[in-house]
Chains A and B, each alone.
Chain A
Amino acid sequence: MKSAPFEHHEPTTVDEAVSLLESLDGPTILSGGQSLVPMLRFRLANPDVVVDINGIDSLDYLHEEDGYLRIGALARHADVEDSSLIDETYGSFADVAPLVADPQVRNRGTVVGSVAQADPKGDWGSILLAHDGEVIARGPDGERTIPADEFFLLPYDTTLDDTELITEVRVPTPAPREGSAYHKLKRKTGDYAMAGVAARLVLDDDDVIETARLGMTAVDITNARATDAEAHLEGERPSSELFEEAGGLAAEESNPESDEHGDAGYKERMVDVLAQRALGDAAERAGLVKRRVSQ
């Protein structure tokens, strides 16, 4: 597979990139390229102009600052995997990073690129949703902050403007009694998710769930939250019974389609299972201890 010809621009600053996006006709942004390059090779994407942002060194970061974990547009999946910041505190990040594609792809592919790709089978969108994340975009009119909730529109379609560049995605640094997890079901390494659920719980001093978030992968036209399940969880104490109810609600909220990854009914059921598993891990990571109460 060989791409069609294109012009290749390599800006070294965000300003330069944004002005290229504004001035060029129908540019495509190239970052990690692990999804885009196959699309170019299959000629499913045939841009005349490619703006390659890999030379913008200022976007290569992953750090905590001003109450956020900030992931620059050039941070690779492997950077998350290898970061000393990413431990149990960011449980869902620690879970997801090694589950994305394979090692070589993780060395090249970026978190931001994956979010921008807006593939409903992508993992990072669910993580952002579960963490009340934000997408920072720079365009000709300056910078704007898009809540993850408002970012995804359709498969491969977002509220990002054609002239905008995502410079960063960020999530608030975890609360003291917060735990998160990501569970993903896939047929093999390198395959997209059959289904995935990210869960995040914040507890108050009485172990009551103050905030609950569930982000779902591959079971709707975009990565999606399970808001009914979240509402059901908030104000309650974690238990397997509660999580079972929440899992059921999340499954109801999901809208999977039957495809090669399984039929819709199966995927719904897996949302239920994965949500319960992720919630269980999140509760433990929030500092709770799992205790058997029957049998």
Chain B
Amino acid sequence: MTDEREITLTINGTEHTLEVEPRRLLVHAIREDLDMTGTHIGCDTGNCGACTILKDGEPIKSCLMFAAQADGAEILTVEGMEDLPEATDLHPLQEGFKAEHGLQCGYCTPGMLMAGKALLDENPDPDEETIRDAISGNLCRCTGYQNIVSSIEYAADELADRTATDGGAVTAEPGGGDGPGADDAEAVCGQSECCGGPDADLFERDYPTEDTDT
């Protein structure tokens, strides 16, 4: 049946009915038929994970599945994160990626957010090794992963704080995580001994010049 067939996808809580050829990849249906371009494509082989979405709660690569196979499925994409119950303005994972500098070019980020969301749904308090493994199906060329791990840890802490306080309301400030500068109250500029360093005479003015470990 190479003819198009009608399928129904519930994406981020909204039901969409569309006609697809059997060979149409789920990622193309999402991006091109439904114009939700937050989910990306980075390879042809299922290695990069930029196309990761949650299908019925599980992270899968939407480039390794045909749209017709997802008929009737509940799908979450990055566009739906702000509307999740645990989100306020942004979802804690989104806040974490921003607070911990967990993204640079942003291309892998939606897939990383999905992988992180699936992990925290399963395991609200993952250790570093678990986080690294949970995102090991997602390639990032920019960050070296360290800050992505911190971003997910930030979200885990944030979600735990909310549960501990009142089960939902957001009280923690950005910076509740433990990454660089996140909870460093003195760090207006992020450096502990910021001013009056050497070499001031070289310049028009002395920008921070001291040596600080981060």
The residues of A with any CB-CB pair to B shorter than 8 Å are 1-10, 33-34, 37-38, 40-42, 50, 52, 54, 78, 98, 101-105, 107-108, 189-190
Contacts and interface: CB of A to CB of B under 8 A. Distances in A.
B121 to A, nearest CB: 13
B202 interface: no
Contacts of A38: 44-46, 64
Interface residues of B, number: 29
A105 B43 CA distance: 14
B8 to A, nearest CB: 15
Interface in B37-73: 44-47, 49, 52, 58-61, 63-66, 68-69
B46 A105 contact: yes
Given A7-B1, A37-B46, A38-B45, A103 B64 contact: no
Nearest to B57: A107
A37 B64 contact: yes
A34 to B, nearest CB: 6
B2 interface: yes
B23 A108 contact: no
Interface stretch (B102-110, B130-138, B154-162, B168-176): B130-138
Q: Which 10 A-B pairs have the closest CB atoms?
A: A102-B137, A8-B22, A1-B44, A3-B23, A189-B136, A104-B137, A5-B2, A37-B64, A107-B58, A7-B1
Nearest to A34: B64
Contacts of B82: none
Nearest to B47: A190
Nearest to A108: B60
A33 B65 contact: yes
Contacts of A41: 25, 44, 63
A108 B115 contact: no
B74 interface: no
Interface in B1-52: 1-2, 5, 21-23, 25, 44-47, 49, 52
A38 B44 CA distance: 7
Contacts of B59: 103-104, 107
